Structure 1
Amino acid sequence: MKSAVPGILGIVNITSDSFSDGGQFLAPDAAIAQARKLVAEGADVVDLGPASSNPDATSVSAEEEIRRLAPVLDALLADGIEISVDSYLPETQAYALSRGVGWLNDIRGFPEPSIYPALAASDAKLIVMYSIQQGQADRREAPEGDIVGHICSFFDERLSALEAAGVNRARIVLDPGMGFFLGSSPQTSFDVLARLGEIKGRFGLPLLVGVSRKSFLRAVTGRGPGEVGAATLAAELIAAMKGADFIRTHEAAPLKDALAVAAALKDFARNR
């Protein structure tokens, strides 16, 4: 019997100011090519981000997000690729649902009741992320007290609101946030990474973890976004061991191979 292997969401930033790739995929042709590359390398879902959420990014309107997404969605949906749209703007979310995307990824955790009827009427999976911010990240401190307690309280509140609006709980995926979404201290992200099992046990829902090239890894290694691949892979494997069901990453190929090796080792140990 094979071990369960986390699904992979491959990141494509259709942005001019992402911290990780600095506008490399802003042009539709570049974004489409990168998405197809990620799928060829093992991504199960492509997560399209039409605006950057890093602390130094410029805000983007829903109209501009949709303009960036439209040609990329045209091509990838025609390919039959499973798509996630990473936006917290209700107008962009409604557009994505109208195009039939399979996932919505909201870094604010879907706080806007105006979109709830559309969410309830859809079949899309909803990634509900915890963040100490209300949208774009900044360099504020984490709240006082136990960060996992704060995360669980947030999820309790948001799950209640979504389920009351008619959203099937089985469609929800929880993301505890990482990096600046948890505060400026690297230790906070390591605390959450180490305690993923507590969150999963509390809610019994799938967990998505995104540590790829995040600030806390750059802080402890002293490396830049383009040099932190090894640290990213190490943290992703830890997330998988701690129970992550999905991992969101910039580089699908090394993660796919590493997860295959980890699964093979588990199978060997089980069948000895």
Structure 2
Amino acid sequence: MIGIVNMTVDSFSDGGLYLTAEKAIAHARELRSHGADVIDLGPAASHPRSEPVTADEERRRLAPVLEQLVAEGIPVSVDSFLPETQRYALAHGAGYLNDIQGFPSDDLYPRLAESGCKLIVMHSIQRRGRATVVPTDPEEVTAGIDGFFAERLGRLQAAGIAADRLIIDPGLGFFLGSNAEPSIAVLSRIRRLKERFGLPVLISASRKSFLRTITGRPIVHIGPATLAAEIYAASQGVDYIRTHDVAALHDALTVLNTMAGNEPPPQ
């Protein structure tokens, strides 16, 4: 499990709650105590109404939190598509980089290749920048996912980045479209995606727009829908689940895995 710590003013579900280093560190420790294997630090929001954040500001937000968590031996992921921030994260002990653009910058590839960091390569219909609100066709989206990963993974591996360092994220919510159907289609294709590319798959359904569309619930009441989507993804063989509520997911998977014969849960 990957626990989310948003160090932002305008994250769609918890903006402003963990903006100070002290609060972010405390929340990361809490998520870790609840069962998170990795802490994902987000120094900027990426939803359609979020404001751009400079690389300098991302580094300012990250610096004390990343330093402390790494010092405590907690595996850390940094969620940023800015190459300057990614370089900073690599230099300061991040074990994962999480890029919603899927690492499009060839200039960064030599630095990525020489590091030991795992790379979460995310697909989005936008390709560059933050999510936008547009309706899409599920079949076009799923075909686009296959094409995107075939091209991007090929480039990354050709640059010397080993396959065992790559994790793929097909995207969900506004990253696939303003309608729920593309996200539903993607979740139903997790096994096919794993077989197609032979790589671990990450999903991040937590509090996403498609769940609010399906249920008609506001964000404050979207916890049960989130957990249902995460459990479904786990049943489909997903390898990593990125979530806000680590405790709920940990307990749900513990019960399910116990009843299923102690199979190892997703990370």
Q: TM-score, normalised by structure 2?
A: 0.96
Paired amino acid for 1:30: K
For the pair 1:35 / 2:28, whether they are aligned, the reply is: yes
Equivalent-residue separation in structure 2 for 1:216 and 1:249 (angstroms): 15
Question: Against the structure 1 CA distance between its residues 144 and 80, is the aligned structure 2 distance closer, same or farther, given a 3 Å change threshold?
Answer: closer
Q: Which deviates the most, 144-153 or 175-184? A: 144-153
Q: What is the aligned partner in structure 2 of residue 155 from structure 1?
A: 149
Equivalence for 1:93? 86
Q: Match of 2:251?
A: 257
**Offset from partner CA, 1:77-118 (integer Å, 9 cap, x none):** 111110000000000000000002100000000000111011
Query: Where does residue 125 of structure 1 map in the other structure?
Result: 118
Q: Is 1:140 aligned to 2:123, yes or no?
A: no
> Which ranges in structure 2 are unaligned for 5 or more consecutive residues?
none
Pairing 1:189–2:189 present:
no
Q: In structure 2, what is the equivalent of residue 4 of structure 1?
A: none
Q: Mean Cα displacement is larger for which, 142-151 or 23-32?
A: 142-151
Structure 1 residue 144 displacement after superposition: 7.3
Gap regions ≥5 residues in structure 1:
1-7
Q: Which residue of 2 aligns with 1:219?
A: 213
Distance in 2, matches of 1:100 and 1:87, equals 15
Cα RMSD (Å) of the superposition?
1.3
- Work out whether residues 148 and 199 of structure 1, in 8 Å CA contact, stay in contact via their aligned partners in 2: no
- Identity of matched residues, %: 55
Residue 143 of structure 1 and its aligned partner are, at CA, apart by 5.7
1:5 aligned residue: none
For residues 225 and 207 of structure 1, do their structure 2 counterparts lie closer, same or farther at Cα, with a shift above 3 Å needed? same
Q: Over residues 63-89 of structure 1, what are the superposed CA-to-partner deviations in whole Å (9 max), with x where a residue is unaligned? A: 110000001112111111100000000
- Equivalent residues, number: 262
| 3-state SS in 2 of match to 1:267 | coil
Displacement of 1:262 in angstroms is 1.3
- Amino acid in the other structure paired with 1:229: G
1:83 aligns with 2:104: no
Amino acid at match of 1:48: L
Q: Which has the higher contact order (CA 8 A, sep 6+)?
A: 1
Deviations 1:107-133 (A, max 9, x none): 000000111011000001000000011
- How many Å apart are 1:141 and its aligned residue? 2.8
